[in-house]
Amino acid sequence: MGTLEKSPDCQICAFKSLMFNSLKQDQLSKINTCKEQFHFSKGELVCREGDPINAIIYVHAGLIKLHKRISENQSQIISIAKPFDFVGLISVFSKTNYFYSITAIEDSSICFIAKDCFIREIASNGQFALDILTRMSKTNDDVLEAKFALSSKNLRGRIAHILLDFANNIYKSNEFELPVSRREMAELIDMRMENVIRVMSEFRQDGIIKINGHIIEITNPNMLQKISDMG
């Protein structure tokens, strides 16, 4: 399971989640003793569907995908988690085993906080518990809104939406290295890979994007936004 990294103290970590601000110093110190940080290379499995849920997963750096196998040759990407995201908070309280797999789609650093330790701090700090509920609700809403946004669009609209999401919400740049393959993009938007390749080619021919290997540059963001909106 990845490579163990030397991780900073949670109390001084620059990537400390805002959720931890409600914890007192001694509580944050307890969290720190219950966590380990691992490095996962791109494509490396973080956890497999059916594994027991023993820890809270926090993305320190990189990107990971939550995905579920639908059939022998087909998977569905549920969502993509980025830095500062907690993964699977709802599952921690409702299930004992993961019902999806998690894989790094970029080189990633991930903190694992022991589940029992995390729950003890929730029980002892009402504000922390409220912060957790707020984060869980927001995460759930974000996933549902993203799925609804995609399901209501046609193929061109879905791909435009995903490209804009990477540009605006993840990389904060119109030029970025696409972290997913064409097959993974198809799994993310629930379409065939051949159609993804075709539409990406159409966007390139229309001067909306430039493609150089894995590097994508959105050259006409207004048009791409219009395609997404009209999708």
Q: Which CATH number goes with the domain that contains 172? A: 1.10.10.10
103 CB neighbour count, 10 Å cutoff = 20
Does residue 165 share a domain with residue 117? no
What letters, b where the CB count within 10 A reaches 16 and e where it falls short, cover 149-179?
Answer: ebeebebbbbbbbbbbbbbeeebeebebebb
Does residue 172 share a domain with residue 102? no
User: What pLDDT sits at residue 10?
Assistant: 66
Does residue 159 share a domain with residue 144? no
> Tokens at residue 54, please?
């023993």
User: What pLDDT digit, counting tens, does each position of 93-128 carry?
Assistant: 777 899 899 999 999 999 998 988 888 888 888 888
pLDDT interval class at 1 (50, 70, 90): low
User: What pLDDT sits at residue 24?
Assistant: 75
Does residue 164 share a domain with residue 145? no
Expressed as residue numbers, the domain containing 225 is 153-230
Does residue 101 share a domain with residue 192? no
Q: What is the pTM of this model?
A: 0.84
User: What pLDDT digit, counting tens, does each position of 34-90 carry?
Assistant: 888 999 999 999 999 999 999 989 898 999 999 998 877 778 888 899 988 888 777
Distance CA 74, CA 55 (A): 28
Per the model's pLDDT, the better-predicted residue between 11 and 22 turns out to be: 22
Does residue 105 share a domain with residue 9? yes
Distance CA 188, CA 176 (A): 18
- What average pLDDT is seen over the chain? 86
Does residue 150 have a pLDDT over 80?
no
Average pLDDT of the residues in 24-33: 78
Q: Choose the final residue of a domain: 84, 115, 150.
A: 150
For the chain, the domain total comes to 2
230 CB neighbour count, 10 Å cutoff = 11
Phi first, then psi, for residue 80 (nearest 5°) are -120, 130
CATH number for 76:
2.60.120.10
User: What pLDDT sits at residue 2?
Assistant: 78
Amino acid making up residue 13: C
pLDDT interval class at 19 (50, 70, 90): low
Does residue 115 share a domain with residue 139? yes
Does residue 32 share a domain with residue 141? yes
Q: Choose the final residue of a domain: 91, 126, 150.
A: 150
- Of the candidates 105, 111, 104, the residue with the CA atom closest to the CA atom of residue 84: 111
Does residue 83 share a domain with residue 171? no
Distance CA 52, CA 56 (A): 12
Distance CA 118, CA 56 (A): 8
Average pLDDT of the residues in 19-26: 72
Does residue 79 share a domain with residue 139? yes
Q: Tell me the percentage of the chain whose pLDDT exceeds 70.
A: 93
Distance between terminal CA atoms of the chain? Answer: 40
User: What pLDDT sits at residue 14?
Assistant: 54
Does residue 90 share a domain with residue 9? yes
Which residues are within 8 A (CB) of 37 and not within 5 positions of it... i.e. 6 or more apart?
4, 5, 6, 7, 60, 109, 110, 111, 112
Q: Considering only 2-6, 116-120, 153-157, 173-177, which range has the smallest mean pLDDT?
A: 2-6
Q: Choose the final residue of a domain: 132, 150, 168.
A: 150
Phi first, then psi, for residue 230 (nearest 5°) are -85, -15
User: What pLDDT sits at residue 177?
Assistant: 93
Does residue 13 share a domain with residue 109? yes
Q: Partners of 35 in the beta sheet?
A: 113
Average pLDDT of the residues in 151-179: 92
